Amino acid sequence: MEKICIYGIKTSLIYPNDSIEDIFFKSLNNESFSLNEGDVIVVAESALATSQGRIVDLSEVIPGNEAKKFEKSCGIDAREAELIIQEADEIFGCVYGALLTLKNGILCPNAGIDNSNAPSGCVVLYPEDPDLWAQNFVKKIKNKFGINVGVIVADSRTQPLRLGCSGIALGAAGFKAVLDMRGKKDVYSRELTITRIAVADNIATAAEIIMGEADECTPFAVVRGVGVQLEPEQKGIEKIPMNECMYFGSNIIKK
């Protein structure tokens, strides 16, 4: 079995309207690093969003009455709360400092809006269409290097009732992001009936360890040897509706 390796790719600071693809290629050249067939390239969503100009100066945001109520009840800056209201598909509630929201089928705090790795007084929104960007990046790498790779746009998030962050894929392309194991047998020859493997999320989590959350300036990671199922035309992350989700669809059972 091939050894699995994760390589962090450091870059210069990324600014709005920068070509994040060109920055990546330049960084590869500076580090004399060559991509291989089957590599998975992971990019931090905040870096991608910044390059897309998804930065908002809070001084330009005028909060409405609902946002002002969230500031009082949840301890969130009313201007940031206003952006959350605009960006979120649904808002479920809050704990101090964060609103629990649904954004593009992803359960996340504050509709993905983040003030870390953003200029002072600003916040970064989620990137635009991460699946499409990932698919286009797959094609650019194929054209430039003649190889097939996978691409993941990754974020970090908390898990229910767990302290600390792990990775999640906001977008993916070039490989099968979720493997369906239903119908296969376990070690006791029992047939699996519900198991699917979140390949993209697992890779994103591993890459987050190398990419970091603070001032590492490592917005890219190359994951090698993981053996993904390459599908050059594949894009997107499979999601399920809330009524099929264990966390949202479960009935409360009292003993």
**What is the tens place of the pLDDT at every residue in 118-130?**
888 999 999 999 9
Does residue 235 surpass a pLDDT of 70? yes
What the block records as the tokens of 218 is: 């490592």
Across 20-29, 132-141, 227-236, least confident range: 227-236
Identify the band that residue 143 occupies on the pLDDT scale cut at 50, 70 and 90. very high
**DSSP helix/strand/coil, 81:** helix
Does residue 42 surpass a pLDDT of 80? yes
Enter the pTM of the model: 0.92
Q: How many CB atoms lie within 10 A of CB 13?
A: 11
Per-residue confidence (pLDDT) for residue 30, from 0 to 100: 92
Q: What's the pLDDT tens digit per position in 173-182?
A: 999 998 877 8
Per-residue confidence (pLDDT) for residue 159, from 0 to 100: 83
- Quote the Cα angle for 24-136-123, to 5°: 65
- Quote the Cα angle for 88-164-101, to 5°: 10
Strands (E), 159-255: 165-175, 179-180, 196-197, 220-224, 230-235
Closest CA to 39 of 220, 160, 193: 220
Top-confidence residue, 1 or 11: 11
In angstroms, rounded to a whole number, what is the distance separating the alpha carbons of residues 20 and 27?
A: 10
For residue 131, what is the DSSP state? H
Q: Which fold has domain 1-53+127-255?
A: 60s Ribosomal Protein L30; Chain: A; (3.30.1330)
Per-residue confidence (pLDDT) for residue 255, from 0 to 100: 57
Q: How many helices (H) and strands (E) does the chain have?
A: 7, 13
Top-confidence residue, 183 or 83: 83
CATH number of 55-125: 3.90.1660.10
For residue 6, what is the DSSP state? E
Mean pLDDT of the chain: 90
Q: Measure CA 174 to chain center.
A: 16
Identify the band that residue 201 occupies on the pLDDT scale cut at 50, 70 and 90. very high
Q: What's the pLDDT tens digit per position in 69-117?
A: 999 999 999 999 999 999 999 999 889 999 999 998 888 999 999 888 7
Residues 114/124, Cβ–Cβ less than 8 Å: yes
Residue type, 40: V
Residue intervals of the chain classified under CATH 3.90.1660.10 are 55-125
Across 38-52, 58-72, 214-228, least confident range: 214-228
Identify the band that residue 233 occupies on the pLDDT scale cut at 50, 70 and 90. confident
Q: Which residue has the tokens 């400092």?
A: 97
Closest CA to 80 of 127, 50, 116: 116
Top-confidence residue, 117 or 231: 231
Q: Which residue has the tokens 């952006």?
A: 83
Residue intervals of the chain classified under CATH 3.30.1330.100 are 1-53+127-255
Per-residue confidence (pLDDT) for residue 253, from 0 to 100: 65
